[in-house]
Structure 1
Amino acid sequence: MSGSDAGIAWLTGQTSARAELLDMLDDPAWLVDANDRQVLHANQAAADWFGVDRGQMAGRRADSLLTTLEDAAFWADVQNGVVVALNSETELTRPDGRIVWAHRRIMPIGTPLPGRQMPGGFLVTLRDRSQEYRAERQRDSLLAELRATLESTADGILVTDLQGRIQAFNRRFAALWSLPESALAERDDEAIHRWMSAQTVAPASYQARLAEIEAHALLSAVDTVHLLDGARLERHIQPQWSRGRPIGRVYSFRELNPQRRGAPRLQRGGVRDESSHWPERNGFVAQIDDAVGLARRDGTPMALLCIEFDRDSLFALEGEGQVRAMGDVVEGLRALVPVQHQLARLGGARFGVLLRQCGEASAEALARRIVDQGRTAHGLLATTGLMVSVGIAAYPQAGLSAEDLLDHAEKAMERARHAGSSAWRVHAFDATDDGQRLARLHRTLREGGAGQSLRLRYLPRIDAVSGRVQCIEALLRWHDGEHGLLPPAQFLPLAARAGLAGALDDWALEHALHQAARWRAAGFVWRVSLNLSSWQCLQPGLARRVEAALQVADWPAELLELDLHEAALQADPELTRAQLRALRELGVHLVLDDYGSGDACLNLLRRFPLDAVKLDRDLVHGLARGATPEAGLAVALAGAARACSLAVYAEGVETETHRQSLLALGISGWQGFLFSRPLDAASVPARLAHEKKSSGGLARVKP
């Protein structure tokens, strides 16, 4: 019998049945008098739970049985005349010391006392969910492994049931189909299918083929899907089986013409979008090529506009609302763009305009008009209610080919989108967009020159109390032939875009561990620290690869520390938590780097298996200045980390004032230029041996 049945019996006045009803419950349960908050009656299961004789339960105070903060607050409210119900799950420690996960429910029952709103009493029930919780964790672990497998493939994967309801998909699928971020969060099946159909060159044909697929549960097939952005996707369809019967379908999508953004895909073309009858991306690139050739021969100007309407807002519209909004967009652009200029549909809510024999000034005027028409209450684009972003690229300022011009127009459009409201931007080169250097670094990475060009520099971290070296952090550097030694910010983003972030992480781990082993042979043993990229955290088998590197270098896992950034924890929390848990089981120490630099809630400290946090350098410097927002934030964040039993380190310590303010904060260790700048491998033993002789702060350890 459930606790609610017992409550019903009380409410109907069956006083004699109260004890009998409680005794019939399998889970621990007891009745509490509302007046003095003492136990009136408890069943045998409750006595067994607390490890006492059943007769000892009566008369005990309710707030002495379950001592969580939530229970204490509940009974305090009851004492103050506040009547509510409590229904939640909590972690409890039983009298025998066992920790269990239990569902606890407290419900008011009975006739209110005379002259008061207080009920006659409360029914408390407990249900041990530890076994279910372990099963859920095991299921979550299996799902994390499945997700890791899905993410490890270069193909886009979509899994549906037999009715087409979406069960799972990976990030590659979302990227191929240009799904907005809201689609990843909400998982609205109907909206996702509608969006996919709208991305195809021929939506009617796509829908007809999809209906044919769904009509045959055992269909295995391969076909090709053409998207508006110029991609050609090879679609593989296979039934999904379980226990000898089909339960769904697995679609895998492979891009047949993967080229960089803005380039013509494969065919050049006459294909047109069904809804607008404008050329799609391939046809638009061909038209730009023709215009570039004419401009090169005649010296006439030309320019491009790349226009995108807010995909997230468009995706959120339901059914016909989305169709009407897209129709309004098409008609609005048709009315705004002069007929001598060419419009194109580049995919989803993205459009292009080719302005022949017009320069940058004419393109700016048109972009301004489009943005103004979206903002004006009675403008031609106002009915859509969508934010619009416009990017401009002119020949020859932004490039000499169709590919470069379209790519640069799209980059300018991305900058406009970050303005937060309808806006337009003109493409402009800046110091960080050094095309020649990026191309050279990209070529070097791709051609296997990393081993000759990569360097590791080492930065010690000092124990705040003893002054000894806690750890040596290995920092990756790139030695460029023309620009010398480059910091990570100037080459890691390129490596990430080229798909080489994991290779760089593996290289740094392997070489840092082997260097640590060489120091050990010379008599110095320190923990080694490295940064772990967000990309690496999403790859399956991370712990196995780290374990293999440790075995090859003969280096103990307890002397390896991996630094993670907030973005790595947030990219895929469930998968990352499983990966980090496996690393912790090896013995690897895990540190949240740049702590306090992002927006993450403190819940991250509890959700992930971390050992320490490292305060961001801006907080360190703000703390030294005293009464600043950074100082207060540093104190609060350090306190929160310690409350979660995490050590607190600091980076960017450059002055004695910095160090003294951190000592007052109670940190465990610090690193920065005050002690040393990053050192090459040969300089580390000499530098640290000197510190030993001068201050006694280092111990020489036998291997």
Structure 2
Amino acid sequence: MKNPSDYNKELRKKLIGISENTVRKNYYPELQERIHELELFRALIDYSTDAILLIKMPEAKIVDASASASLQFGIKHSDLTNLLFHYLELIDLSGNLQDVLENPQAISSEGKMIQCYIKKGNQETPLEITFRSVILGASSYLIAISRDITERKLAEERLYRLAHYDTLTGLPNRVLFLEVFRQAILYGVRNKLSHALLFVDLDRFKYINDTLGHAAGDYVLLASARRIKDSLSTGDMCARLSGDEFVVLLNDINDTHDAGAIAQKIIETIAKPFFFEGRELFISGSIGISIFPEDGNDCATLLKQADTAMYHAKEVGKNNYQYFSKSMQKSTIERFELESLLHRAIQTESFFLHYQPRFDLISNKITGMEALIRWNHPEYGLITPGHFIPFAEETGLILPVGEWVLRSACRQNRLWLDQGFSLCVSVNLSAMQFRTDYLVERIQTILKETMLPPENLELEITESAVMNDIKTSIETLKEIHEMGVKLSIDDFGTGYSSLSYLKQFPIDKLKIDRSFIEGINTNEEDSSIVKAVVSLAHSLKMKVVAEGVETKEQLKFLEDCGCEEIQGYLIGHPVPSRIFEELLTFPIQ
């Protein structure tokens, strides 16, 4: 559509020296057509959901506005035009608004975007305004396109809460706790203060959870969280690390014995009966205590010492607390033994892989699988990944272990490809692997060695891994993606991805964590979260994989949401390659 001023110029040229009758006869229909097009152009502006302002410079006076601008700024259209832009009283968050108004000529062709709030009564509405500088005739103008970003801000707040708070108990999670703990240590160093860390583990919780079910287990966790929190003073912090493990940070203690007094208070309140569906349930708490700076001066060390003390409390009878001491070396010795076993397992290639199928809800076929490591020790039997993977990450052994998994999965998938099964194998990358400067080169080497096409490989990376160093992460992900390898964000929602960064990552899929899938048919918050993640992924042109799908009801919900792929016990357990081939030969119905 042409600029209205261009039409006026053309008409003026045609009308000079022409009689009125000639104009009526020859140009009136064209004039009517131009007027109609101008009306359409005006309707296009007025019906835009974004507010559009035309601002005459340098006085910054609003000379025209779309109909939606009146609604967004809460000012009548007649009052809005001829109003100075400053009178909108925007709360500038970017600090660039004044510069835009004073130096409009400095705005690039892409425009200048600012974020601000506008206050209407007691309500503050977040706006994103894009300015562009234009010359119309002999005058200079700014075109301001203002978008209400309330929904986006709410989505970011929800994601922040998901990333920093435990969904069951509402307590801070590990991510937020470590952030606060690091700040407390820095403050303690500067001001020569002492802090205490309490590592709380619920005794007999697994028995209740396994015997009475997850509902009873969740009730006990929630009630325990409240009791622990109520035992603390203002300024102290309680967080849920995982499962039945909680940590408490006591800030600025005067005496180390104060930590023992709080620990005893927590033990006593946890020991009181829980009432669930007419039953009396009893558990106890074992607590380990480490002191800053006596037992360490960083988060990892103090957590480790408190964890060691907690296990010692369990060993001496449970339902008690223990301060860390250097004599508590048994768990440390066991860790050294595990490290030695891991080294030998790597050398002898004692690991093997199981494969869990991924089911495509659109084609109704198995289109991929996740490779999962297993370790069957000749003396100790099957050692679960949950036992040795965290330790491998801590010691750096995850690098050779992770490379073995990637090479083995690619080699096996090449064999299946030769048998006529074109599948995409998914392999988890640890944060440490992702941070190595030779990752891209190593992936290329393995693909070349195994002769697996890049499109038959998918790498899963956690949110926390990619958010650690944004600039480097984007570069690494782009290099991998340009190879043709697919990329997915694993356990989405359990870390923190700023939406502004997430859209910059060349990600193919978001993988929804199983913790949200469990409650989608019974928990309104979980179902809302899953719908929001699916909607977010699709808006960013990404597909969605839901893990931990165990029931047909969950499957139906996910189908209705538009989720593309599922993974979980409903489709198949992780199985050896031989059994997985049978699933391919005799597809799931």
**TM-score bracket, shorter-length normalisation:** 0.5 to 0.7
Residues 148-197 of structure 1: CA distance to partner in whole angstroms, max 9, x if unpaired? xxxxxxxxxxxxxxxxxxxxxxxxxxxxxxxx97999xxxxxxxxxxxxx
Shift of 1:39: 6.6
The 8 Å contact of residues 602 and 640 in structure 1, kept in 2 or not, is answered as no
Shift of 1:582: 0.6
User: 4+ residue stretches of structure 1 with deviation over 6 A?
Assistant: 38-43, 59-69, 85-88, 180-184, 407-410, 413-416
Give the 3-state SS of the residue equivalent to 2:494 in structure 1: coil
Matches within 5 A, 1:307-326: 310-313=184-187, 322=190, 325-326=191-192
Could you tell me how far apart the structure 2 residues matched to 1:643 and 1:409 are?
40
> Which of 558, 567, 574 is the matching residue for 1:671?
567
Give yes or no for the alignment of 1:527 onto 2:424.
Answer: yes
> Which of 421, 427, 443 is the matching residue for 1:546?
443
Shift of 1:473: 1.0
Matches within 5 A, 1:161-560: 310-313=184-187, 322=190, 325-326=191-192, 366-369=255-258, 391=290, 411-412=305-306, 426-427=323-324, 435=332, 437-447=334-344, 449-560=346-457
Shift of 1:559: 1.1
Matches within 5 A, 1:31-180: 72=52, 75=66, 76-77=68-69, 80=77, 81-82=79-80, 84=85, 101-103=110-112, 105=131, 123-124=141-142
Residues 415 and 523 of structure 1, relative CA distance in 2, 3 Å threshold: same
The 8 Å contact of residues 50 and 69 in structure 2, kept in 1 or not, is answered as no
Residues 102 and 652 of structure 1, relative CA distance in 2, 3 Å threshold: same
The 8 Å contact of residues 470 and 526 in structure 1, kept in 2 or not, is answered as yes
Shift of 1:666: 1.3
Residues 410 and 461 of structure 1, relative CA distance in 2, 3 Å threshold: closer
Could you tell me how far apart the structure 1 residues matched to 2:552 and 2:440 are?
39
Could you tell me how far apart the structure 2 residues matched to 1:434 and 1:481 are?
22
> Which of 494, 499, 509 is the matching residue for 1:612?
509
Residues 65 and 503 of structure 1, relative CA distance in 2, 3 Å threshold: farther
Residues 352-402 of structure 1: CA distance to partner in whole angstroms, max 9, x if unpaired? xxxxxxxxxxxx995125899xxxxxxxxxxxxxxxx97269xxxx9xxxx
2:581 corresponds in structure 1 to 685
Shift of 1:409: 9.6
Could you tell me how far apart the structure 2 residues matched to 1:648 and 1:464 are?
11
Give the 3-state SS of the residue equivalent to 2:337 in structure 1: helix
Q: What amino acid sits opposite 2:437 in the alignment? A: P
Shift of 1:560: 0.7
- Stretch deviating more after TM superposition (69-78 or 511-520): 69-78
The 8 Å contact of residues 109 and 132 in structure 2, kept in 1 or not, is answered as no
Residues 549-606 of structure 1: CA distance to partner in whole angstroms, max 9, x if unpaired? 1111111111111111111122111111110011111111111111223344444431
Residues 462 and 636 of structure 1, relative CA distance in 2, 3 Å threshold: same
Shift of 1:673: 1.0
The 8 Å contact of residues 413 and 425 in structure 2, kept in 1 or not, is answered as yes
Shift of 1:71: 6.1
Could you tell me how far apart the structure 2 residues matched to 1:539 and 1:452 are?
23
Give the 3-state SS of the residue equivalent to 2:586 in structure 1: helix
Could you tell me how far apart the structure 1 residues matched to 2:534 and 2:309 are?
36
Could you tell me how far apart the structure 1 residues matched to 2:47 and 2:446 are?
46
Shift of 1:410: 6.9
Could you tell me how far apart the structure 1 residues matched to 2:47 and 2:376 are?
60
Could you tell me how far apart the structure 2 residues matched to 1:506 and 1:66 are?
58
Unaligned runs of 5+ in 1: 1-29, 31-37, 44-55, 89-98, 110-120, 127-179, 185-308, 316-321, 330-363, 373-388, 399-406, 417-423, 696-703
Could you tell me how far apart the structure 1 residues matched to 2:580 and 2:5 are?
68
Q: What amino acid sits opposite 2:545 in the alignment? A: Y
The 8 Å contact of residues 181 and 312 in structure 1, kept in 2 or not, is answered as no
Give yes or no for the alignment of 1:564 onto 2:461.
Answer: yes
Give yes or no for the alignment of 1:574 onto 2:468.
Answer: no
1:636 corresponds in structure 2 to 532
Shift of 1:484: 2.4
Give the 3-state SS of the residue equivalent to 1:691 in structure 2: coil
Q: What amino acid sits opposite 1:77 in the alignment? A: A
Measured on the aligned residues, the alpha-carbon RMSD in Å equals 4.7
1:596 corresponds in structure 2 to 493
**Which has a greater percent of helix?**
2
Give the 3-state SS of the residue equivalent to 2:437 in structure 1: coil
2:29 corresponds in structure 1 to none
Could you tell me how far apart the structure 2 residues matched to 1:66 and 1:415 are?
67
The 8 Å contact of residues 428 and 460 in structure 2, kept in 1 or not, is answered as yes
Could you tell me how far apart the structure 2 residues matched to 1:370 and 1:687 are?
56
The 8 Å contact of residues 391 and 414 in structure 1, kept in 2 or not, is answered as no
Residues 493 and 413 of structure 1, relative CA distance in 2, 3 Å threshold: closer
Could you tell me how far apart the structure 1 residues matched to 2:258 and 2:424 are?
61
Give yes or no for the alignment of 1:622 onto 2:519.
Answer: yes
Q: What amino acid sits opposite 1:455 in the alignment? A: F
The 8 Å contact of residues 289 and 324 in structure 2, kept in 1 or not, is answered as no
Q: What amino acid sits opposite 1:312 in the alignment? A: L
Give the 3-state SS of the residue equivalent to 2:362 in structure 1: coil
Shift of 1:313: 2.6
The 8 Å contact of residues 63 and 71 in structure 1, kept in 2 or not, is answered as no
Shift of 1:124: 2.5
Residues 428 and 604 of structure 1, relative CA distance in 2, 3 Å threshold: farther
Could you tell me how far apart the structure 2 residues matched to 1:623 and 1:631 are?
4
What is the TM-score of this pair, normalised by structure 1?
A: 0.45
Shift of 1:441: 2.5
What is the TM-score of this pair, normalised by structure 2?
A: 0.53
Unaligned runs of 5+ in 2: 10-33, 54-64, 71-75, 91-95, 98-107, 113-129, 145-177, 195-252, 262-287, 296-300, 311-320
Percent of residue pairs identical: 24
Could you tell me how far apart the structure 1 residues matched to 2:46 and 2:554 are?
46
The 8 Å contact of residues 45 and 52 in structure 2, kept in 1 or not, is answered as no
The 8 Å contact of residues 524 and 685 in structure 1, kept in 2 or not, is answered as no
